[in-house]
Structure 1
Amino acid sequence: MKNKPAYSVESVDHALRLAVCLQQEGAMGVTEAAARLGVARSTAHRLLAMLVYRDFAEQGVDRRYVAGPILRVPNRPERVVGLRDLAVPQLRTLMRRTGESSNAMVLHGRQVQMVATVECEHVLRVGDREGRLLPADRASGGRALLARLGRADLAARYDGETGDAFEEVERVVRQARRRGFAINDQSTEAGLTAIGCALEESPGFPPIALSVAMPTARYHRRLLPDIVGALRETSAALEADLRERANAPD
């Protein structure tokens, strides 16, 4: 299970997070970047200048920064402008209800992109996954999202897989479809267990799922009903927020 290294360099962490934000969320000014990272405006300006120097960012004529050529790769994950702002308050509620770290993610091809994480307060915990890409057929939220697809769509996404590999994908998808949620029991990382639920489709956003992740040592099947209940209620609340955003006047 990956958690933030004790020897992490804070400035490097800030720069990497900022690069991910530019790729995921689009154009950003210095003040927005500072607020996003929780740093001083001068610090954000220095970080952005270094990202520009290394081609991870570019500055437009409006003085705002966008992802640079290194981050503008083919088939990159979809932008999720606005989703994180709506998801984080709901993830905080989910974390308080379950006592474990919570995540929001979107489906992109065969992968899920982690959009936001709210870490729990345990010393031993699943750390921040924001910006990471995980195989959809292994992540709990990814499995829940794949379960919403028809067989033709699923087969198209996994075109080229050998028979046995696709059969395994179909197996975990059928299981998630039958349950109405999905479990990742150390499929993405040793020592990590996660439970995920997919949201109903929201106009203007890619397919979204929420998950609760914890050290496997702290997971027990008797916790499942409460966790799934909290996930479903939080998913419904976020769906309502997304509908309100979609219906808001420009």
Structure 2
Amino acid sequence: MRVGDRQGAVLPAYRASAGKAMLSMLDQSELERLYHGENATARRLTEEDYAALVRELGAVRDRGFAANFEGTEEGVSALGVAVSGPAGEVVCGISMSIPQARFRQVFDAGLVGQALHTAKVREERLGKVPDDEKPDLTGAPVT
């Protein structure tokens, strides 16, 4: 069992664990702009799919992490967390991909705690970076 390299791959944010974690930090109007109605800018979801996404993102917000169980690739599950910048804005997401058959074991061994700790360390470091050295993250695609 193994999970291959996804470097450079673009996956729909609403299906990937880190994408879900990041989306959970957006306000309702931004989420609607991306996925709801005729003028959706990322991908227009059906009313049913959009309602399910809103419910799922509420749960992600409550627990602080997102999961995907074969949502982006057969046989692969992942856990993702969002990383906030100094002003509370979503900056990026971190995800750990694990073969589906091993996910429960890794999850039970403390995966959530490690992921949240890693995100906190990143957030602390982002807060200490001078403004002129921070990367420009505008224009990053959301699918």
TM-score, normalization by structure 1: 0.45
Partner residue of 1:131?
Answer: 8
Q: What letter is aligned with 1:128?
A: D
Identity of aligned residues (%): 34
C-alpha separation between the residues in 1 aligned to 2:96 and 2:106? 15
Partner residue of 2:121?
Answer: 237
Structure 1 residue 156 corresponds to structure 2 residue 40: no
Give the drift of 1:206: 6.4
Aligned residues of 1:183 and 1:195 also touching (Cα < 8 A): yes
Aligned residues of 1:185 and 1:194 also touching (Cα < 8 A): yes
Gap change, CA 1:232 and 1:156, over 3 Å in 2: same
Structure 1 residue 193 corresponds to structure 2 residue 83: no
2:19 match: secondary structure: helix
C-alpha separation between the residues in 2 aligned to 1:213 and 1:145? 16
Aligned residues of 2:77 and 2:103 also touching (Cα < 8 A): yes
Partner residue of 1:141?
Answer: 18
1:148 match: secondary structure: coil
Aligned residues of 1:143 and 1:173 also touching (Cα < 8 A): yes
TM-score, normalization by structure 2: 0.76
Show structure 1 runs of 5+ residues with no match. 1-123
1:235 match: secondary structure: helix
Give the drift of 1:243: 2.6
User: Residues 171-182 of structure 1 correspond to what in structure 2 (within 5 A)?
Assistant: 171-182=55-66
Give the drift of 1:220: 0.9
Aligned residues of 1:137 and 1:172 also touching (Cα < 8 A): no
C-alpha separation between the residues in 2 aligned to 1:207 and 1:247? 14
1:103-122 C-alpha deviation (Å, 9 max, x unpaired): xxxxxxxxxxxxxxxxxxxx
Aligned residues of 2:25 and 2:90 also touching (Cα < 8 A): no
Aligned residues of 1:126 and 1:215 also touching (Cα < 8 A): yes
Runs of 4+ more than 2 Å apart: 159-162, 221-225, 240-249
1:210 match: secondary structure: strand
C-alpha separation between the residues in 2 aligned to 1:224 and 1:195? 12
Gap change, CA 1:222 and 1:231, over 3 Å in 2: closer
Q: Which structure exhibits the higher relative contact order, with contacts defined as CA atoms closer than 8 Å and separated by 6 or more residues?
A: 2
Partner residue of 2:51?
Answer: 167
C-alpha separation between the residues in 1 aligned to 2:5 and 2:69? 18
1:83-111 C-alpha deviation (Å, 9 max, x unpaired): xxxxxxxxxxxxxxxxxxxxxxxxxxxxx
C-alpha separation between the residues in 1 aligned to 2:57 and 2:29? 13
